[in-house]
Amino acid sequence: MSRIVIIGGGQAGVQLADSLRSEGYQGAIDLFADEPHLPYQRPPLSKDFMSEEDGASPLPLRAGTFFGDRAVDFHQGVEVTSVDPVGQTVVASDGSTLSYTKLVFATGARNREISVPGSELVGIRYLRTLDDAKALQAELGSAKHVVVIGAGFIGLEFAAAARKRGLDVTVLEFGPRPMGRVLSQFMSGYFADVHTDSGINLKLGEGIASLTGVEGKVSGAVSTSGTEYPADLVVVGIGVLPNSELAVQACLEVDNGIVVDACLQTSDPHIFALGDCSSYPNVHTGARIRLESVQNATDQARILAKTLTGKPTPYEALPWFWSQQGAVKLQIAGIIHCDDESIVRGEPASGKFSVYCFRDGRLTGVESVNSPSEHMAARKVLEQRLPLTPELVMDADFDPKSFSRQSAFLNPNDKEGLERPATV
């Protein structure tokens, strides 16, 4: 009998198991998940889970009956420790060896760690897993001064939640702007103001130099400017590293993630990779990228299920993201570069507006604040490559919703043609 082995019980792995059954796959599915919990959603961990005094409940990815109902052999708390691509077997931490017809890496990513003096002190935390979140949540109850290292999405979501609970919060960011690599300059500046206005002490251009402590417990964070900020809790959010060591051991090509082609196949025809751990050729940017988002993990899983059931399908979904920072909901459609030309539509002071980003006159992405309908319209425009220009966006009569609906009337030749990257 054919057997698909999935390594990783996160967003991508669970969706793949589900979608394989929806696509009619009747062989065995074995899903290995090294965390001790039933699969859960990560996004709430830095948002609602931290905002509430007694902690919100973790949100499961599927009902408890899912694995039985879908005939998925779920190996809870079991790590795959080695892969033999020649014999097509995996070895797991419970001592078992299993052979596969197809193997899928859905191993996700792990936190990048700091290594400055004092990194080993008690009270220095990271946020990736439910266990991380529970530990952090427990310490928030008694903490007074929190220092967050890194003004990325997760660091700022956590900072906003901690501030909402009345804590003194300092955020140290080495770069000149918060979320500087992934947002337009305008949006980044907007968020700097939002967080500063809420009372967060946002220090831009200041990295972490060392951590100080008393009796083994952190008491302060010294920035690269030499200033020491008081801290009884430090949260590090400086990005992630893809979990690709097993893939290296299996002699797969790895370059900032497990390298896959448009159908998510690795350099071994029997092995695939998806989600945070994989690097794929993105049709919208023409470049190879590795994304960290729920949309990417779940959409890749749905597409891979088609390929694994005999309907090879390239992954071409438009990337989109969201973040909730205090009262501000940010939604991003497409991939934005900080130096894109940006046009603001709406009134930022009202707390509801969008930023349209262009590169060489072509729309690359749209950032929307508290404007879900404009975000949905932007996704349609980008998905269908409708010819939106900066001039059109600047026109006072521009209506994103009706523009996004015009595709039915367009000659396909009028849509923007993008070069598709070659698959590897």
Ligand X SMILES: Cc1cc2nc3c(=O)[nH]c(=O)nc-3n(C[C@H](O)[C@H](O)[C@H](O)COP(=O)(O)OP(=O)(O)OC[C@H]3O[C@@H](n4cnc5c(N)ncnc54)[C@H](O)[C@@H]3O)c2cc1C
Tokens of 151: 């003004």
108 vs 400, beta carbon nearer ligand X: 108
Residue 368 pairs in a beta bridge with: 331, 354
Looking at the Cβ atoms of 43 and 281, the one nearer to ligand X is 43
**Residues 151-170 within binding reach of ligand X (CB under 6 A):** 154
Q: Is 293 in the site for ligand X (CB under 6 A)?
A: yes
Region near ligand X per CB under 6 A, out of 41-49, 140-148, 178-186, 346-354: 41-49
35 binds ligand X (CB under 6 A): yes
List Cβ neighbours of 139 (8 Å cut-off, separation of 6 or more).
Answer: 123, 125, 233
Instruction: With contacts defined by CB under 6 A, name the span among 34-42, 53-61, 138-146, 172-180 that binds ligand X.
Output: 34-42
328 contacts ligand X (rule: CB under 6 A): no
How many chain residues interact with ligand X (CB under 6 A)? 36
Contact call for residue 106 and ligand X (CB under 6 A):
yes
* 314/326 Cα distance (integer angstroms): 37
Pair type for strands 3-7 and 28-33: parallel
205: phi then psi, degrees, rounded to nearest 5: 75, 15
Q: Smaller CB distance to ligand X: residue 108 or 118?
A: 108
Closer residue to ligand X, CB minimum distance, 128 or 345: 128
Rounded to whole angstroms, the Cα distance separating 184 from 186 reads 5
Residue showing the smallest CB distance to ligand X in the complex:
10
In the complex, least distance from residue 275 CB atom to ligand X, rounded to whole angstroms: 2
- Residue closest to 159 by CA, chosen among 217, 198, 185: 198
Binding mask 4-23 for ligand X (x = CB under 6 A): ---xxxxxxx----------
- Site for ligand X contains 308 (CB under 6 A): no
Q: Which of 5, 43, 187, 328 binds ligand X (CB under 6 A)?
A: 43
29 belongs to the binding site for ligand X (CB under 6 A):
no
Q: How far apart are CA 300 and CA 351, in angstroms?
A: 33
d(CA 288, CA 277): 13
User: With respect to ligand X, which residue has the nearer C-beta, 222 or 375?
Assistant: 375
By CB under 6 A, residue 139 contacts ligand X:
no
Tell which residue, 322, 275, 241, has the closest CA to residue 9.
275
| Shortest distance, position 306 Cβ to ligand X, whole Å | 18
Report residue 171: phi and psi, to 5°.
-115, 125
- Kindly report the length of the chain: 424
- By rule CB under 6 A, what string of x and - marks binding of each residue 202-241 to ligand X? ----------------------------------------
| Long-range contacts at 179-182 (CB < 8 A, ≥ 24 apart) | 179/151, 179/152, 179/153, 180/151, 180/338, 181/338, 182/153, 182/332, 182/336, 182/338
Q: Name residues contacting ligand X, limited to 240-279 (CB under 6 A).
A: 243, 246, 275-276
Which residues lie across from 59 on neighbouring strands? Answer: none
Contact of 264 with 315, CB cutoff 8 Å: yes
Binding mask 175-204 for ligand X (x = CB under 6 A): ------------------------------
Q: Figure out which of the listed residues 25, 32, 100, 190 binds ligand X, where binding follows CB under 6 A.
A: 32
To ligand X, the closest distance from the beta carbon of 125 in angstroms equals: 12
For residue 346, give every residue at least 6 positions away whose Cβ sits within 8 Å of its Cβ, in sequence order, or none.
Answer: 352, 353, 354, 371, 374
Contact set with ligand X (CB under 6 A) = 7-13, 32-35, 42-43, 45-46, 79-80, 106-109, 127-128, 154, 243, 246, 275-276, 292-295, 297, 321-323
